[in-house]
Structure 1
Amino acid sequence: MEQSPETPQDFWAELRRSTQARIGLGRAGDALPTEQILEFRSAHAAARDAVHQPLDVDLLAGQVEAVGLGPTARVTSRATSRAEYLRRPDLGRLPDDLSGVPHSGAEVGFVLADGLSPRALADHGAALLSALTSELSDRYSLAPPVIATEARVALGDHIAEALGVATVVVLIGERPGLSVADSLGIYLTHLPRPGRTDADRNCISNIHPPEGLGYQQAARVVSGLLAGARRLGRSGVDLKDTSRSDALASGEVLTIE
């Protein structure tokens, strides 16, 4: 029996299993199908909401303190509102007051920052911190975590200086997209101080299980980068993530958790 030719929709359905990108959306006359237009508008609204959604700091602080690293300090940037934060990135990089940050002298400090997606920090921050603590606590001393609001990545350098830590790990909500609105990123800076640039940091992005990078896998990458930074004496462009190549060389199967 002669088989009917494969329709465009059947062809794209197979490829969609490996990407969250919008591909093969189809047509309705000279426009997109109504279902796809409505889905796009819904994703756009979710992305906008993720940017403007205020972080419930009290709720997050309770979840973070349950991880067991001690009392959580709180810091705000010099941006006095979400609107000013979005208009003035420079203010989001500067602390308003660091008097509540205790000097710990620990090897590693954690900053949980709302960034451009407070929703991502609310959804994944405490669980990711727990995975990082489990991965690192038997080898390094860890400072009590700090929650930062209206925060950009560089605010972590000021907080790290106040903490007195050798390496700071900033967990921050990433810019929402039309596929993912709750993605969390990690920025690792060794020997942090005000004035460090993005060239001095290592970034791990797209952390949002189950579709994105899992907590344990992200924690293992941080562990490798931290060990490399301490050997090298710096982080950033000179420090490479070799976790994937090491896993392939050992025959380990890489999975997204």
Structure 2
Amino acid sequence: MKTNEVQAIGTFLRDYATTLLESGATTVRIEKNVWRMAESYGFEAEVNIYPRHVDVVQRDQETGSTAIFSKTIKGSANNYATITELSKLSWNCYDHHLSLEVCQREYQRIIHTPRLSNTLVTILTSFANLSFCRLFGGDLISMTIVFVATLCGFYAKGALHRKWGVDMRVATIIAGCISAIMSCSGYVFGWGTTPDVALATSVLYLVPGIPYLNSVSDLINGHNICATSRFLQAMIITVCLSVGLYLGLWLMNIGIL
């Protein structure tokens, strides 16, 4: 195989692995998918994941030559639709021996597929948080308060981070503060019989559940560095939402003890 072909395959596998990681895939899924695609082209591949970049070690099964391809992780945007489509691509490549050009074209189609609209995601998130309020015993008024608080907080978080480039941690603090202030309306105006439930569930949408779950999976899979990195990032976001909640309570002079 020509050198430029080896480089093209390695670069593609590197980009493929990085996209999976940025979309929220677990390390075990990334390893299996990359190995599957590399195998279809006559290579062995190992994936090393670090807090800021991904390494793909590519080994030619015929010559034994090894090459390392590295790429910096730009950010994280959880997208299970992308993960699913990329996993399907790896199976199609393995089962049908797709050419590199076909795989690259399909990869580009997948990563450029439009996500759900921000408006729809905001509304669905608000309904999900409303359901949490009901699950923990909140009444109809508290559920309404949580819906509005989540709607405003989630929108503010997205706008601050995407439109104005505010750091995600700062955006989380502000969003948590906004939701907490709005959820305090049950206490301030005497609305409903379960204002405590409304307050407690108003910031649950900010809990980074996927990084926590992925860190456990990575730990089981032996990727201790990646597991620690994801866990610490999730902990930082959790601390930020707690700070936002505290600021909201402090501004509204609401005591919870």
Superposition TM-score, scaled by structure 1 size: 0.28
Q: TM-score, normalised by structure 2?
A: 0.28
Decide which structure has greater helix share: 2
Higher strand share: 1
